[in-house]
Amino acid sequence: MKTLALAFACLFLMKAEGQEYSLTVSSRVAKSKEKEYGEWKDYPTRCLETLGGYRVSTVVLDKYGGRTDMRLPVTGFFHAVKVKGRWWVADPEGNAFINIGMVNVSPAATETERAASKKEFGDEATWTEKTQEMLEEFGFNALGAWSDVNAFRRSGLQKTRPLAYTIIRNFMSDYGKKRGGTYQDPGHTGYPDRTIFVFDPQFASFCDEYAKDLAVNKDDPNLFGYFSDNELPFERQSLDRYLAKKDTTDYGCQAARRWMEQRDIRPEGITDSLRNEFLAYMADRYYSIVSKAIKKYDPNHLYLGSRLHSNELKVAPFFNVVGHYVDVIAINYYRVWTPVASDMHNWEVWSGKPFLVTEWYTKGEDSHMTNYSGAGWIVKTQEDRGKFFALALLESGNCVGFQWFKYQDNDPTNTKADPSNTDANKGIVNTEYQLYQPLVLRMRNLNRNVYSLVDFFDKRDQDSLDLYLLVGQSNMAGRAPLDDSSKLTDSRILMLDKSDNWVPATDPLHFDKPDIVGVGPGIAFAREILRNGGSKRIGLIPCAVGGSPIRVWEPDSTYLNGLHPYDDAIRRARVALGRGQLKGIIWHQGESDNNTANAAIYMGKLKVLIQRFRTDLNAPALPFVAGEIGYFAKSEPINAVIDRLPGVVANTGVVSAEGLTDKGDKVHFDTQSARELGRRYGQAIEKLEMGGLRK
**Percent share of the chain, pLDDT over 70:** 96
pLDDT at 166 over 60: yes
Which helix (H) or strand (E) element contains residue 262? helix 251-262
pLDDT at 167 over 60: yes
Average pLDDT value over all residues in the chain: 92
pLDDT at 143 over 90: yes
Which helix (H) or strand (E) element contains residue 106? none
pLDDT of residue 682: 96
Residue at 312: amino acid letter: E
pLDDT digits 0-9 by tens, 415-448: 888 888 889 999 999 999 999 999 999 999 999 9
CA distance 341 to 53: 21
* Least confident span in 20-29, 122-131, 455-464: 455-464
pLDDT of residue 1: 52
Q: Identify whether the C-beta of residue 320 lies closer than 8 Å to the C-beta of residue 312.
A: no
For the chain, domains (ranges, CATH) are 65-232+281-460 (3.20.20.80), 464-689 (3.40.50.1110)
Is residue 563 classed as helix, strand or coil in its secondary structure? strand
pLDDT of residue 44: 84
pLDDT of residue 461: 74
CA distance 598 to 584: 26
Helices 171-179 and 272-297 cross at an angle (nearest 10°) of 100
* Reported confidence tier of residue 491, pLDDT bands at 50, 70, 90: confident
pLDDT digits 0-9 by tens, 544-588: 999 999 999 999 999 987 899 999 999 999 999 988 889 999 999
Per-residue DSSP letter, 484: G
How confident is the model over 334-363, as a mean pLDDT?
Answer: 92
pLDDT at 693 over 80: no
Q: Which residues, including other chains, have CB under 8 Å from residue 117's CB and lie 6 or more apart?
A: 107, 108, 127, 433
Q: Identify whether the C-beta of residue 417 lies closer than 8 Å to the C-beta of residue 363.
A: no
Nearest CA among 628, 624, 602, 597 for reference residue 612: 624
CA distance 119 to 614: 50
CA distance 342 to 345: 5
How confident is the model over 195-209, as a mean pLDDT?
Answer: 98
Half-sphere exposure of 29 (CA within 13 A, CB side): 12
The burial of 225, by beta-carbon neighbours within 10 Å (0-12 exposed, 13-18 middle, 19 or more buried), is given as: buried
DSSP per-residue codes, 44-65: EE--GGG-TT-----EEE-TTS
pLDDT at 15 over 70: no
pLDDT at 684 over 60: yes
pLDDT at 126 over 80: yes
Q: Identify whether the C-beta of residue 257 lies closer than 8 Å to the C-beta of residue 336.
A: no
pLDDT of residue 182: 92
Q: Identify whether the C-beta of residue 543 lies closer than 8 Å to the C-beta of residue 557.
A: no
Q: Identify whether the C-beta of residue 25 lies closer than 8 Å to the C-beta of residue 88.
A: no
Question: Distance from first CA to last CA of the chain, Å, rounded?
Answer: 54
* Reported confidence tier of residue 691, pLDDT bands at 50, 70, 90: low
pTM: 0.76
Q: Residues 613, 567, 500, 21: what is their CA dihedral angle, to the nearest 10 degrees? A: 70
pLDDT at 10 over 50: no
